[in-house]
């Protein structure tokens, strides 16, 4: 499990840079939330955010939080200001691991590719708190200048926020070799099933997410214990559907998402022993 610590810069009483009707703290939160959201499509990755709302959090709390969590990567998201334009990123200017340097190379390349309209100010190093005090490799991006008219106009477009986020995600995917979740699988419904040797109605019902009663009714079966090999059965039951758990999911969230009750999801998944312990990548039957 790869642990990514996302740090949307500033927040609460600290707006960061402000200009052109924009506040840095709002942009960084939007971008970080998008990154978190996009990463839900990948397996074996877990994300923790220094903040998920507009709250004041001291820098020292952010690095302690990431260090205690044992993050694999500290990614701090900022927007620049001060009379320039374009994109740049930073790692610590003291001793850093070779991973820190190679990660920056990848992140820089991917973010540049996703946002080619920003002038490239390069890969840089600086003595920033979050980079110095985080025990894991750290990276800080500055996507555009809030006090530059052209950059600010870009930052006002949601498509640009998406692209900045996507660039960060593409970098993280490459750095950690993240793989996509397998999509939800659906067994075709409304089909015909040919009974095979050893089949029982309950096994067939289970396979198609229907019930023995429904099979009996749909197929006019006189004796449920007497089905013969080669017999054709209508299996127009509800299709079986599986959901792949993403990081941050819990069973009630998954139930809600699929419009079913928590009890129903528990019934559909009798093999789950501890309902509070589900892991990303796990397949949960939702239909
Ligand atoms: Zn900042």
Ligand 1 centre to CA of 41 (Å) is: 28
Ligand 1 centre to CA of 9 (Å) is: 5
Answer yes or no: are the C-beta atoms of 26 and 54 closer than 8 Å.
Answer: yes
Ligand 1 centre to CA of 28 (Å) is: 8
Ligand 1 centre to CA of 177 (Å) is: 28
At residue 253's C-alpha, the angle toward residues 250 and 73, to 5°, is: 50
How far is the CA of 287 from the CAs of 36, 208, 234, 246, in angstroms?
27, 10, 18, 18
Helical (H) or strand (E) element with 57: none
Residues of the chain with pLDDT below 50 are none
Per DSSP, the three-state class of 254 is helix
Residue corresponding to tokens 């990463």: 39
Catalytic residue among 24, 88, 110, 142: 142
- Looking at residue 238, its pLDDT comes to 58
Phi and psi of 204, rounded to 5°?
Answer: -65, -40
Ligand 1 centre to CA of 66 (Å) is: 18
CA dist., res. 221 & res. 217, Å (int): 7
Ligand 1 centre to CA of 62 (Å) is: 14
Q: How far apart are the first and last CA of the chain?
A: 28
Ligand 1 centre to CA of 19 (Å) is: 13
pTM higher than 0.75, yes or no? no
DSSP state of 243: E
- Looking at residue 197, its pLDDT comes to 86
Ligand 1 centre to CA of 225 (Å) is: 70
At residue 133's C-alpha, the angle toward residues 130 and 136, to 5°, is: 90
Answer yes or no: are the C-beta atoms of 143 and 24 closer than 8 Å.
Answer: no
Name the pairing type of β-strands 283-285 and 242-244. antiparallel
SS3 string, 168-197, reads HHHHHHHHHCCEECCCCCECCCCEEEECCC
- Looking at residue 135, its pLDDT comes to 97
Ligand 1 centre to CA of 146 (Å) is: 10
How far is the CA of 222 from the CAs of 196, 209, 212, 234, in angstroms?
19, 21, 12, 15
Ligand 1 centre to CA of 118 (Å) is: 17
Is 142 a known active-site residue? yes
Q: Which tokens is 213 given?
A: 């009663």
Ligand 1 centre to CA of 16 (Å) is: 5
């Amino acid at each position: 499990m790869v642990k990514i610590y996302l740090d949307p810069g500033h927040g609460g009483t600290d707006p960061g840079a402000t200009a052109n009707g924009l506040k840095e703290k709002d942009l960084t939160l939007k971008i970080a939330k998008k990154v978190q959201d996009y990463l839900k499509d990948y397996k074996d990755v877990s994300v923790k955010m220094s903040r998920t709302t507009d709250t004041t959090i001291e820098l020292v709390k952010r690095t302690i939080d990431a260090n205690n969590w044992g993050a694999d990567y500290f990614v701090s998201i900022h927007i620049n200001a001060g009379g320039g334009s374009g994109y740049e990123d930073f790692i610590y200017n003291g001793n850093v691991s070779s991973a820190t340097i190679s990660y920056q190379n990848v992140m820089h390349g991917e973010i540049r590719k996703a946002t080619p309209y920003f002038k490239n100010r390069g890969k840089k190093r600086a003595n920033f708190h979050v980079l110095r005090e985080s025990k894991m490799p750290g990276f800080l991006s500055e996507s555009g200048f809030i006090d530059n008219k052209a950059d600010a106009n870009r930052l006002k477009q949601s498509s640009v926020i998406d692209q900045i986020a996507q660039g960060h995600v593409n970098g993280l995917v490459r750095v950690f070799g993240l793989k996509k979740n397998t999509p939800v699988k659906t067994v075709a419904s409304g089909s015909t099933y040919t009974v095979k040797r050893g089949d029982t109605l309950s096994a067939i019902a289970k396979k198609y997410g229907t019930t023995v009663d429904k099979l009996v009714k749909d197929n006019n079966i006189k004796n449920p214990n007497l089905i013969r090999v080669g017999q054709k059965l209508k299996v127009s039951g509800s299709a079986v559907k599986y959901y792949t758990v993403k990081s941050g999911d819990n069973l009630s969230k998954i139930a809600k998402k699929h419009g079913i009750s928590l009890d129903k999801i528990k019934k559909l998944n009798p093999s789950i022993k501890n309902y509070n312990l589900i892991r990303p990548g796990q397949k949960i039957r939702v239909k």
